[in-house]
Amino acid sequence: MKRFFRAWSLIAILTLGSIAAFGQDDPYVVDEIIAKVDNYIVLKSELDRAYLDYLANGGRQSEETRCQFLALLIRNKLMMAKAEIDSVVVLDEEVDANTQSRINMILAQSGNSAQQLEAIYGKSMEQIRLELRDQIKEQMVVREMERTISADIAVTPAEVKRFFSRIPQDSLPYFSAEVEVAQIVRKAKVNNQQKEATKRELIAIRDRILRGEDFSELAKRHSDDPSVTYNGGDMGWVGRGQMVPEYEATAFRLEKNEISQPFETEYGFHIMQLLDRRGNEYHSRHILISPEPSEEDVQDAIAFLDSIRTLIINDSLTFQKAAREFSDDVLTKGNGGFFTDSQGSMRIPVDELDPYVFLTIDSMKVGDISRPIVYRTDDGKQAARILYYKSRVGPHEASLDRDWERIQAAALNEKKNRLLQKWFEKARHDVFISIDEAYDHCGILDQ
């Protein structure tokens, strides 16, 4: 049983955003059922992919680790089975939205077209989408079950100290150098002339559609939406609240089959055709063109940040307040501009920093605020930013005073693991579990 919950620490490795999770036809993939949990199965191919992906990321080869991955896969299937029994659900609309977002991200980050991905994995984009949807749904259900099971778990300062005191002195973790870095981002605002040119381009495309040209073909040729290469601009059925407000408002304003005039969202300018509507759901397709800012627009962003930087240096404004009021980066502005790690800590190991951020602060002194730096945001927008290098902690052995947040998170995780172990011991008697005898040595169902 202990082996089952050591696997918990490996959960981050089984990230469903990995392109490797698509089940490509690699030599090691064998579709053999190695475990059953009620109506859910674990395939040998799932275990092989998870384990080999772990090795590819620098993990050490061991049969115990392989067992840990199998335990984690079985735990996830148990969560799925118990979710059915306990009526814990996630909405299909949320699963579909997350799937679409993940596909768009994969296309953008890989730099491949849909056709290239189809060729690489030997599957159609629809097959890839359905496989990814199943994985995302499982991930979402498992997270909801974990949240439900451990909703009331917390740790007191005394528990954190007791947890730390139990770690042998010669086993204390050694942390690499860590830094606190904040940013204020200003996206380049597209000028009115370029906006008008984009609208004229979309109006011309709309006229071509009205004259009989194929909407999806024109979308594939002209749209900047990365998903267009496999869906022709068709966004499928969605409900209220799933699209940005401007898109949704347009969808509920149009008549069936009507094509809108150009309208603007945070992503650029669109024309939309409403294909159908039923109650609070609608089916639409669109063509998106995102105008690029001019060099003058970029210089305006730089000038704006220069003025903010001057106010901060002259003590007329704090960096944190300026970030909350003026930064265009939604992920960091709520933290006063500070980057955070997966546990919410503002102290980031230097090897986890964005390489461009690291290169910038490498030539700065602690306390410095950089001049504006031009870069592209994760969604491909031209922008500028200033960086504040607040602090640096050198490589060190873990201690309560320096690493409270990390130790607190570890103590909380251990407490959750104990609760989940008890939950597993009880829940596994509520469902049918069968594991191939070839994996008896893993001891997953041992008392």
Phi-psi region of 188 (alpha: psi -120 to 50; beta: other; left: phi over 0): beta
Q: Could you tell me which of 78, 42, 88 has the C-alpha nearest to residue 420?
A: 78
Point out the domain boundary residue: 242, 268, 289.
289
Q: Is 137 found in the same domain as 52? A: yes
Spatial contact of 282 and 256, defined as CB atoms under 8 Å apart: no
Residues 150 and 220 in one domain: no
Same domain, 51 and 31: yes
Say yes or no: 20 and 136 in one domain.
yes
Residue 57 in any domain: the answer is yes
Residue 150 backbone phi and psi in degrees, to 5:
-110, 20
What is the model's pLDDT at position 134?
87
Judge if 55 and 114 occupy the same domain: yes
Among 341, 409, 398, smallest CA distance to 154 is for: 409
Q: What is the rounded CA–CA span in Å between residue 57 and residue 54? A: 5
CATH classification of the domain holding 383:
3.10.50.40
Residues 52 and 32 in one domain: yes
Same domain, 378 and 393: yes
**Same domain for 435 and 311:** no
> Do 407 and 392 share a structural domain?
no
Rg (CA), the chain: 26
- For the record, the structure tokens of 298 come out as 């970029």
Q: What is the pLDDT of residue 447?
A: 53
pLDDT for 27: 43
Report if residue 39 sits inside a domain. yes
Residues 6 or more apart whose CB falls under 8 angstroms from that of 325 comprise none
Q: Does residue 370 share a domain with residue 318?
A: yes
Given a cut of 50, the residues of the chain with pLDDT beneath it are 1-30
Phi first, then psi: give them for residue 31, nearest 5 degrees.
Answer: -80, 80
Q: What is the pLDDT of residue 173?
A: 87
Contact 384, 305 (CB under 8 A): yes
- The answer on 406 and 393 residing in a single domain is no
The 10s digit of each residue's pLDDT in 391-426 is: 999 998 999 988 888 899 889 989 998 898 888 888
- DSSP bridge pairs for 238: 282
447 part of a folded domain: no
> Is residue 81 located within the same domain as residue 150?
yes
Which candidate, 147, 180, 204, 155, places its Cα nearest to that of 319?
A: 180
Return d(Cα 341, Cα 137) in angstroms, integer: 25
Structural domain boundaries, residue 338? 174-189+294-397
Q: How many domains does one find in the chain?
A: 3
- Per-residue confidence (pLDDT) for residue 251, from 0 to 100: 94
